[in-house]
Chain A
């Protein structure tokens, strides 16, 4: 019998990847049940396992949780990655919402036409450089701590590392003007649980390729 959380999603990043990151960073082992065909999704729906008929869905602590943010908030709260009080939580929430917006843009790319993809890729790079990364660069510079909030490792740090790596996949030298973020990336990548997650063979998923996208379209009818 496993008390481990069980993740239901396609075998790819999508909206589940941030959840994989957070569980891994918290040192929590988890199982995955991959949706490979539309029939799998329909069965979950028919069985009443998906509150709003959607995945991600995570079985955890007797609940069938849905809605990415709800799942992430629960995990962060449970494993003490959500600050020590309401104000620290507010800062973590603000930072995470920012990286969510940035990663959300990147997540859409594979589903777009070649023309839209090119335009949006340029927008992503611009936003990363002028709207998002400067905020985290400044936060780290201003307080001089290793972590974004409360001088303690939190969900915000994990989410930022995930975002940095994702943007680097779009533009490898994106951090060239952000020395604090470069140092941050080095530090957080060396945290043992995260280091393990970054190694080959972990449950971290690769970027979407054409084959994956074609299958996603079939499964979700898009």
Chain B
């Protein structure tokens, strides 16, 4: 019997990846239950395991949690990655929501039609370099600390590192105008739990490829 959280999702990044990141950063071992077919998903739905008939679903502390944000908030709160008070939590929430908007573009990118891909990629680069990264560059510069909020590792830092790496996979030189973020990326990557997660063989999932896209389309009945 394991007390470990158990993640139910497809064997790929999607909406579960930020959850994998956060658990890993918190040093929490977890198990994964991969949904590989439509029938498997339907069985989960029929079995009443998915509150709104959707994954991600994470079994944790006796709950079958759904809704990515709810799961992330719970993990952050439980493992002290959510600031020390309401105001720090407010900052973490604002930063995480901004990063989530950027990551949403990255997540949806593989599913965009071929003729829209170039435009969407340009949009990701523009938003990253003009709307989101400048904000975090400025925050780090202004307080001069290693972490975004409260001089302490939080959910916001983990989410930002994930976003930086995800965007870099699509736009390799994206950090060229952001020296603070370059230093942040290095420091964060060396946090022991994160360093471990970044090594081959961890639970981190590879970038989505055509095979993954086809699998998602077939499981979720998308066209």
Q: Are B67 and A86 in contact (CB under 8 A)?
A: no
Q: Are B63 and A67 in contact (CB under 8 A)?
A: no
Where chain A touches its partner, the secondary structure class is helix
Q: Once bound together, how far apart are the Cα atoms of A65 and B74, in whole Å?
A: 22
Given contacts A52-B131, A135-B52, contact A77 B89 (CB under 8 A): yes
* B96 partner residues in chain A, CB cutoff 8 A: 70
**Interface residue? B25 (CB, 8 A):** no
Q: Are A73 and B63 in contact (CB under 8 A)?
A: no
**Interface residue? B214 (CB, 8 A):** no
Q: Could you tell me how many residues of chain B have their Cβ less than 8 Å away from some Cβ of chain A?
A: 28
**Interface residue? B97 (CB, 8 A):** yes
Q: Are B52 and A63 in contact (CB under 8 A)?
A: no
Q: Are A52 and B90 in contact (CB under 8 A)?
A: no
Q: Are A74 and B67 in contact (CB under 8 A)?
A: no
Q: Are B131 and A69 in contact (CB under 8 A)?
A: no
* B87 partner residues in chain A, CB cutoff 8 A: 61, 63
Within 8 A of B (CB), among A51-81: 51-53, 61, 63, 65-70, 73-74, 77-78
* A77 partner residues in chain B, CB cutoff 8 A: 86, 89
**Interface residue? B168 (CB, 8 A):** no
Q: Are A93 and B74 in contact (CB under 8 A)?
A: yes
Given contacts A69-B69, A87-B63, A89-B74, contact A94 B51 (CB under 8 A): yes
Q: Once bound together, how far apart are the Cα atoms of A73 and B74, in whole Å?
A: 13
* B51 partner residues in chain A, CB cutoff 8 A: 94, 98, 135
**Interface residue? B110 (CB, 8 A):** no
Q: Are B94 and A90 in contact (CB under 8 A)?
A: no
**Interface residue? B101 (CB, 8 A):** yes
**Interface residue? B65 (CB, 8 A):** yes
Q: Once bound together, how far apart are the Cα atoms of A51 and B67, in whole Å?
A: 25
Cβ distance B159 to chain A, nearest Cβ, rounded Å: 13
* B89 partner residues in chain A, CB cutoff 8 A: 73-74, 77
Q: Once bound together, how far apart are the Cα atoms of A89 and B86, in whole Å?
A: 14
Q: Are A87 and B70 in contact (CB under 8 A)?
A: no
Nearest-neighbor residue (CB-CB) of B127 within chain A: A52
Cβ distance B16 to chain A, nearest Cβ, rounded Å: 15
Beyond A87-B61, A94-B66, 5 extra complex contacts between A and B, CB < 8 Å: A52-B135, A70-B96, A77-B86, A97-B68, A98-B51
Contacts A/B (CB < 8 Å), 10 sampled: A52-B132, A63-B90, A69-B69, A70-B94, A73-B89, A73-B93, A86-B77, A90-B63, A90-B74, A135-B52
Chain B residues in the interface with A (C-beta under 8 A): 51-53, 61, 63, 65-70, 73-74, 77-78, 86-87, 89-90, 93-94, 96-98, 101, 131-132, 135
